Amino acid sequence: MKRSVLIILLALMTQLNRAQDDPYLWLEDVDAKKSLDWAEKWNESTLKVLTGQPGYEKMYDKILEIYNSTDRIAAPSLYGNLIYNFWQDEEHPRGIWRRAPIQSYLSGEPHWETVLDIDGLSIEKGEKYVFKGASGLYPNYERFLVSLSKGGGDAIEIYEFDVKNKYFIQNGFFIPEAKGNADWIDQNTLIVSTDFGDGTTTSGYPKQVKIWKRGTDLKDAQLIFDGKTDDMGIWGYTFHTKDRLYQFITQRTSFYSGMYYFIENGELIKIDVPEDISLSGIFKNQVIFDLKSDWNIGGNAFKQGDMVSISYDGLINGKTTYQLIVRPDERSSITETSSTENVLLVNMLNNVKSELFRYTFDGSWKKQKIDAPEYGNISLGSADENSDTYFFYFQNFLEPSTLYKGNALSGEFVKVKALQSFFPTENYQVQQFEVASKDGTNIPYFVVSNKSMKYNGKNPTLISAYGGFEVPRLPSYSAITGVSWLEKGGVYVLANIRGGGEFGPKWHQAGLKENRQRIYDDYFAVAEDLLSRKITNPKKLGISGGSNGGLLVGVGFTQRPDLYNAVVCAVPLLDMKRYHKLLAGASWMAEYGNPDIPEEWEYISKYSPYQNVKKGMDYPEVFFYTSTRDDRVHPGHARKMVAKMSDMGYKVYYYENTEGGHAGASTNEQRAKMAALQYSYLQMKLMD
């Protein structure tokens, strides 16, 4: 038998074996007619039920009104003396990228000038474009690199755009669709991370970085770093200041580990730091790092969670003169940093409530607390590297987002705009509780309810949580949750389970890989505590989550179906046997483990929802939804789970949006529809 024929036969046998192991594998073929027809049939049946619920149209209209409200805060991005903003509303469903002078913006009645109309561009090009951001050329910001996605996925096209004359530059820089990025070195030079035609990593991210000169072909750009196929990804960046340009490359060998290289005088310099360290920024020629583990260096015993710095020149010359900037305690963590001309801003969490600090540097670090609003969630906005102007937002469950403009050096700030409330927040209360998980660890959670709530075990209650990737879940105002759930008599719960970043790296790492069951035990402990406090009962308790949170709720209803009567499972991971073979899945093996290694599949297999769903169980009627254009978490996860459960005889609901990427929606109409479907389902299942 010829070798070529043997290879074909072996390939066919492999495919047949896989199909026998998983009869729903065909649903992983995203755009196959058979798959799309299957999804369309499910859409029809699900929409018939959920849009037919009493009050659906009224709820959809109200949610769309919220999304399209002109009273929303126009999030400012500072570039010189101009504020840029991306805006979507009823008139501009795909959005406009616009700008206004900063003084006009601060006056409360900005004179907006449209720079780029995404709706018009989509019509002109015959594509469903989604705006994915833009980066300006320092210091004049007359040229931008504009990122556009077809349908909302992570893969983007990058175009050079002249904002002064408002057009894409003919024969200018253009990078074809890929999961990559580009940064300016100067007007005629970019550092580019993309698929240059030699393939990507197994995670679908760039494995090469090149320097691209204007007037040359992208394929002829100068290769400066060539990674490995099994790396997570390779990215190059620049950081501009008045004094110098910094260029660096990060080689991510996994989601939480990698190496850093700086480019100095055209040469790569590898930085001698722990592989799990995270580069946070550069300020006053100090390179700032976050520590994910203890580190003894230069006579200092730094702790997990610390933020440290070293001069750039010392770093590239192998010095060890690191200084401590911040040391969180057991109940605090660093959530984000930003910098102005003279101040490093550090946003902290203290028992899941934000505190804002400013640090100055004159050879050593000096700290002062900014008297920002308390008992809520602060998030840093745009900051100006040429002055001490910056923006930040504050919100909590019952206080809508408010934008402030601050002077980082003086610590003073003023209110720019506060959102109106769409529901009577004065009628509601927020309580924070803690419950001991299975191993004794105390897990905090928030309960938002009407002040008149009765502890009779009959309140419709929805738990939201995430539990992964060191992502904290923080108090935030949601007008949609307010009008669609709280005002209907519902109780909303936010659970701060392990796996997140609420208490720093240790909180996250406690649930990695073989310890993941701890996260799910935390989740169940919160639910059981709600029952013991007589806030609700299993017939009135629902859960919702997306992405890793979709995995969370998938584990929730397969391991403890006795606890819940409603499950919203959005853009989820569910098939943990094949997750690493689908789209960006390989990049998450540092979080979950590698199912191809028997010892690691041993613990993954115990919770993977797709493998653990069984016949004859009393599962709730789950509502799954995803997007055809999600190129991060494969829609096959949700599709296959629905097909499998349906064939087992379970009643489920499924909706697949044809665009929207991992966010599930691209326009306000799509966002309103997804939210209305979700709350229509929850009201149907949990409210009498």
| Number of Cα atoms under 13 Å in the Cβ half of residue 523 | 33
DSSP-derived pairing of the beta strands 541-546 and 566-570: parallel
**Is 104 tagged catalytic?**
no
* Catalytic (active site) residue 662: yes
Length reported for the chain: 688
Distance CA 607, CA 556 (A): 9
Classified as helix, coil or strand, 490 is coil
Catalytic residue among 147, 662, 666, 680: 662
Amino acid identity at 266: G
Three-state secondary-structure class, residue 327: coil
Tell me how far apart the alpha carbons of residues 665 and 629 are, in angstroms, rounded to a whole number.
10
615 exposed, middle or buried (CB, 10 Å; 0-12, 13-18, 19+)? exposed
Those residues whose C-beta lies under 8 Å from the C-beta of residue 84, and which sit 6 or more positions away, are 76, 77, 97, 98, 99, 115, 134
Task: Give the integer Cα–Cα distance in Å for 44 and 37.
Answer: 11
Give me the residue label for tokens 């569910």: 574
Tally of CB atoms within 10 A around 256 = 19
The neighbour count for residue 624, using CB atoms within 10 Å, is 27
Q: Where are the alpha helices (DSSP H) in 245-297?
A: none
Place of tokens 């927020």: 430
3-class secondary structure for 469-481?
CCCCCCCCCCHHH
Which residues make Cβ contacts (< 8 Å) with residue 182, sequence separation at least 6? 145, 158, 173, 175, 190, 191, 192, 193, 194, 212
> Which 8-state DSSP code applies to residue 584?
G
Q: Tell me the CB-side half-sphere exposure of residue 460, using CA atoms within 13 A.
A: 17
424-427 — which CB contacts under 8 Å span 24+ positions?
A: 425/398, 425/399, 425/482, 427/451, 427/452
Q: What are phi and psi of 500, to 5 degrees?
A: -85, -170
CA-based nearest residue to 218, from 260, 174, 249: 174
- Considering the candidates 309, 449, 464, 547, report the single residue annotated as catalytic: 547
d(CA 121, CA 306): 46
Identity of the amino acid at 589:
M
Catalytic residue numbers read 547, 662
